[in-house]
Structure 1
Amino acid sequence: MNRLVILEVPAEDRGKRLDAWLAGEMEGISRSRVRQLLDEGLVTLFEGTRPKANYRLRGGEKIRVSLPEPARLEVRPEPITLDILYEDEDIIVVNKPQGMVVHPAPGNEHGTLVNALLYHCGDLSGINGILRPGIVHRLDKDTSGILVAAKNDAAHRGLAAQVKAHSMKRVYLALVHGTVAEPRGRIEAPIGRHPVDRQRMAVTGKNSREAITHYRVLEQFEGYSLLEVRLETGRTHQIRVHMAYLGHPVVGDPRYGPRRSPFNLPGQLLHAGCLGFNHPVRGDYLEFTAPPPPVFLQVLENLRREKRGEGK
């Protein structure tokens, strides 16, 4: 059974395209998905007409959107190799490779970290539901690095409390575009959904949450800077959004950086290299480190050679 959503267009949005406006108003619905709904006749004006994607809003009209119920996903264990840094009866700490999605979602039902964890562990905490068992914090698909998962609900609650209190140590390496002038800095800028492209986040004062990022310059190259970045908060795409906001997007970032990626990269050069937290059951402090993946290290080596004059 479809879910009916009724939206009223405010007068100040007069003249906007319908597909762009709907994508901006409906949480989790992309512009391409809006066009699909329009093509299927699931978007109508109150007088019964079915508008096209390029329909220009008049302001004041009411729009019906009939949303089909999403297909139920079944999460199955899969024999995928894991780089395990630590494991006990409560938690497992892994070094996630670049290109791996953390948990299943429409379009990414298989090959995720959760599929691999379920095969290896047999069971995970159920607090986050069937699609995200054991997942306390996430890394983007093309961000590599360290992530901890909970095997039971007690461990999950203990880890989640540390994430909420901002007491979990999370340090990243990031190669960014341009020369970062200040040797260190603190970025405090709220992050929320982009007003038009709902697949992106943005620094905005509307429907946003506090976001704080600390950075330190480690090395400078011709046109690039290597940063150590520490998260104080953990918003979606936080480092990527904050660095783009500063005018120094992460190298290889297809969403917030230049469209054409330098070095033919598969994704952004952002690596969660250090994770520290108190064991959620025992209470002792644990800290883990992992080097960046080979593609990241190779780019750094090439830049260092050029800096020394060897690559010219």
Structure 2
Amino acid sequence: MNSDNSASHLQLVADKAGGRLDRWLAEQVPDLSRSRIQKLIEQGQVQLNGQVCNSQKLVVQPGDCIQVTIPAAKPLDLVPEERPLDVLYEDEHLLIINKPVGLVVHPAPGHEGGTLVNALLAYCNNLAGIGGVQRPGIVHRLDKDTSGALAIAKTDLAHQHLQSQFKTKTARREYLAVVYGAPTQSRGTIDAPIGRHPVERKKMAVVSEDRGGRRAVTHWEVAERLGNYTLMRFQLETGRTHQIRVHSAHIGHPVVGDPVYSSGRAVGVNLPGQALHAWKLTLQHPVTGDWIEVIAPLPATFLTLLEVLRRRAST
């Protein structure tokens, strides 16, 4: 499926009974997700034996001739912006980058430009139409001031597959963070629902489920003790907004440099954001099924912070 200005047409003939039309087409055209095929059927873009077919449940019979028209992907109403990207992995289906601190992932009010999506539109000059729109497929996000590994789908199929992996927790995300204090245990699990802060609406907080909180589970372990600070390794079981930052503060060990949840405590190192980094991402390739594991190198400021704290802890 191309992102040019012309529609593409597929002509298929069934050599045997194939079950439901949408399922049969999904098997025959792996570049299209089943939900995308269902939309094309609803839009009258699928013909069966020369007649428009609007039923995705229709059973394909031997000898049936099916034509699929795939409209050209609509351009996303955003301006591509050239920006260097730290690419950790790339093929025709997906891209994994090491996102720097300070980069907003997705456009939002007040951030229509200068985002990762703007940069991706310039970097990937042959993006497929995900959901019929020419756009990079953001399947998970990182906060503006959190760095690290971020996966982007290039095709409709990859987008659907990767979203499913994050939803079913097949994909694993591991983070490194420097927190205040020294936990008494070496590892643990935080199981506390997160929702919008009842007073400060721009913040998240641990909120009971009957008050709008959603279940949030974070596993943690001590990676290195640094005096009154600790390098922690976190693994997410759920993906709530600001989850690690909220949970760390909840157990009395907020992330160093976090301007929202750590009460602005100084550490003596000028950090551009919180000392939180998406260190490792493990996922299954959406086409080959091979496992991919990427390690995102720590930012220079994070490494400087560790050096300073190690030096202090050893004196």
TM-score normalised per structure 1: 0.73
Matched residue, 1:253: 258
Q: 1:238 aligns with which of 238, 243, 257?
A: 243
Alpha-carbon shift at residue 259 of structure 1 (Å): 2.3
Identity level (%): 56
1:293 aligns to 2:293 (yes or no): no
Q: 2:116 aligns with which of 99, 113, 119?
A: 113
What SS does the aligned partner of 1:257 have?
coil
- Cα–Cα, structure 1 residues 215 and 129, in superposed 2: closer, same or farther, change >3 Å? farther
d(CA) in 1 for partners of 2:276, 2:231: 10
CA contact (8 A) 2:196 2:204 kept: yes
1:217 aligns to 2:222 (yes or no): yes
Deviates more, 1:195-204 or 1:255-264: 255-264
What letter matches 2:159 in structure 1?
A: H
What SS does the aligned partner of 1:264 have?
coil
Structure 1 residue ranges without an equivalent (≥5) = 1-72
- Cα–Cα, structure 1 residues 124 and 115, in superposed 2: closer, same or farther, change >3 Å? farther
- Cα–Cα, structure 1 residues 124 and 196, in superposed 2: closer, same or farther, change >3 Å? farther
What letter matches 2:279 in structure 1?
A: G
**Once the two structures are superposed, what CA deviation does each residue of 1:160-185 show, in whole Å capped at 9, x if it has no partner?**
00111011110000000111111000
What letter matches 2:300 in structure 1?
A: P
Matched residue, 1:164: 167
Matched residue, 1:276: 282
**Once the two structures are superposed, what CA deviation does each residue of 1:7-42 show, in whole Å capped at 9, x if it has no partner?**
xxxxxxxxxxxxxxxxxxxxxxxxxxxxxxxxxxxx
What letter matches 1:294 in structure 2?
A: A
Q: 1:173 aligns with which of 172, 176, 193?
A: 176
d(CA) in 1 for partners of 2:196, 2:136: 25
Matched residue, 1:84: 87
What letter matches 1:194 in structure 2?
A: H
d(CA) in 2 for partners of 1:133, 1:221: 40
How many pairs does the alignment contain? 236
1:93 aligns to 2:99 (yes or no): no
What letter matches 1:297 in structure 2?
A: L
TM-score normalised per structure 2: 0.72
* Pair member with larger Rg: 2
* 1:172-191 alignment, distance < 5 Å: 172-191=175-194
Deviates more, 1:243-252 or 1:189-198: 189-198
d(CA) in 2 for partners of 1:202, 1:153: 34
Alpha-carbon shift at residue 266 of structure 1 (Å): 1.4
CA contact (8 A) 1:125 1:156 kept: no
CA contact (8 A) 1:192 1:202 kept: yes
CA contact (8 A) 1:128 1:135 kept: no
**Once the two structures are superposed, what CA deviation does each residue of 1:127-179 show, in whole Å capped at 9, x if it has no partner?**
4978x741000000000000000111110000000111011110000000111
d(CA) in 2 for partners of 1:138, 1:250: 18
What SS does the aligned partner of 1:295 have?
helix
What SS does the aligned partner of 2:312 have?
helix
Structure 2 residue ranges without an equivalent (≥5) = 1-75
Alpha-carbon shift at residue 260 of structure 1 (Å): 4.2
1:146 aligns to 2:145 (yes or no): no
What letter matches 1:107 in structure 2?
A: G
CA RMSD of aligned residues (A): 1.7
**Once the two structures are superposed, what CA deviation does each residue of 1:237-288 show, in whole Å capped at 9, x if it has no partner?**
0000000100110000001112244323211000001000001122111100
CA contact (8 A) 1:124 1:150 kept: no
d(CA) in 1 for partners of 2:290, 2:274: 33
What letter matches 2:225 in structure 1?
A: Q
